[in-house]
A = this chain, B = another copy of it.
């Protein structure tokens, strides 16, 4: 491991429009996903935007999970950022995919804070 953080950019297309507008259900799904994936929840904040759309952030001891939804386009963007290797990013993506009845999702992984070899050895 030569990076301090791991960041997954998850894009979900073809989601159920009503599910993308349901702030309370999205919050419960995301919190449940984080717990199942091994995350430690510090706090969360969710907002419903006018005329529609949800933004949510879960701050976790490992870093953060966020979601933004565009009901009119059947689209949701989820980010999972964690330090360490314990948090299961794919489990979170799969759980949210089910909750939003998404037709498809893509997950791009990005290492964050790559260390030079000596520092990486100290950090491991």
Contact = CB atoms under 8 A, between A and B. Distances in A.
Copies of this chain, whole number: 2
Contacts of A57: 45, 57, 59, 64, 66
A108 to B, nearest CB: 8
B45 A68 contact: no
Interface in A99-124: 108, 110, 112-113, 115, 119, 123
Contact of A64 (B13, B42, B66, B110): B66
A73 interface: yes
12 contacts: A4-B70, A4-B73, A4-B77, A11-B112, A13-B113, A42-B55, A43-B47, A45-B59, A47-B59, A57-B57, A63-B68, A68-B81
